[in-house]
Amino acid sequence: MRFYLIATVLLSAFCGVVLADDEAPPAKDGKNKDAKQIEEKASYGYGFDVGSNIAHSLKVQSITLKIDALLSGLRDALEGKKPAYPEDELENAKNEHRKLMLTKAAKKNKEEGEVFLAANKKKEGVKTLESGLQYMVLKTGDGPSPGPTDRVTTHYHGTYIDGTVFDSSVERGEPATFALNEVIPGWTEALQLMKVGDKWRLFIPSKLAYDIKGKGPIGPNAVLVFEIELLAIEP
């Protein structure tokens, strides 16, 4: 899994803005005080935006950091200082930290996923296939079913087991078309059992999704939940 910690969020926040010293330029109309208050609030606002982006990235990727050290590094960089540690030492530390976070996230996701699937399979309407894939029929269609290499058009809505959305053609308002042999195994298996017009909710074990490697924001061993509607088939 790659880590997308936001290192350039300041670029958009400060587009067209020059970082200033504590002293504001003299104002002929005597509004120095107001200018300083505006600068103070704006500076806080930029900092809050940066922090919100980083916090979201950390949460999605199950990463923990020492806030005081993070702020110290940010301040040193903004003030043009040299880093407090040799660069090769920092790179090694970041690489080791990534490995630790991956191991921690993989263990956490595996344990939580197993508990979720064990409880979910007992719910009314949920069916479990031999592969471990679980599904619930939300709407029944009467069209044909696709073959293993057919292209299909679907609408889907993907979340983690806590309900957080990570991808959704429904929210984008545009169906997705793809070949069945180009997607995760859980989709390949489920869609061949569906008919055009069907809408299912899939509960996909990590081994039928992105497994230990994860992908993008999807962590290692993550169980995924999809609502997927089969709209059309292109043989």
CA angle 221, 100, 58 (to 5 degrees): 75
- For the whole prediction, is pTM greater than 0.85? no
User: Do residue 122 and residue 229 come from a single domain?
Assistant: yes
Do both 25 and 126 map to the same domain? Answer: no
Are 135 and 215 in a shared domain? yes
**pLDDT, tens digit, for every residue of 118-168?**
999 999 999 999 999 999 999 999 999 999 999 999 999 999 999 999 999
Reduced to 3 states, what is the DSSP secondary structure of residue 77?
Answer: helix
Where among 62, 84, 106 does a domain terminate?
84
Query: 49 is written with which tokens?
Result: 């935006």
138 with 40, same domain: the answer is no
The rounded distance, in Å, linking the Cα atoms of 191 and 133 is: 12
pLDDT of residue 127: 97
Answer yes or no: do 25 and 121 share one domain. Answer: no
Is 91 a member of any domain?
no
On the CB side of 70, CA atoms within 13 Å amount to: 14
Range of the domain at 162: 115-234
Question: CA–CA separation, 79 vs 73, rounded Å?
Answer: 10
Question: What percent of the chain is modeled with pLDDT above 70?
Answer: 86
Note the pLDDT of residue 30. Answer: 55
Position 66 in a domain: yes
Residues of the chain below pLDDT 70: 1-31, 60-62
C-alpha 119 chain-centroid distance: 25
AA identity, residue 171: E
Is 92 contained in some domain?
A: no
65 token code pair: 């950091």
Residue 41 to residues 11, 32, 35, 36, 38: CA-CA distances in angstroms?
A: 19, 14, 10, 9, 5
Phi, psi of 202 (to 5 degrees): -105, 140
Domain count, the chain: 2
Q: How many CB atoms lie within 10 A of CB 72?
A: 12
Length of the chain: 235
Residue type, 22: D
- Domain-embedded: residue 106: no
CATH code of residue 207: 3.10.50.40
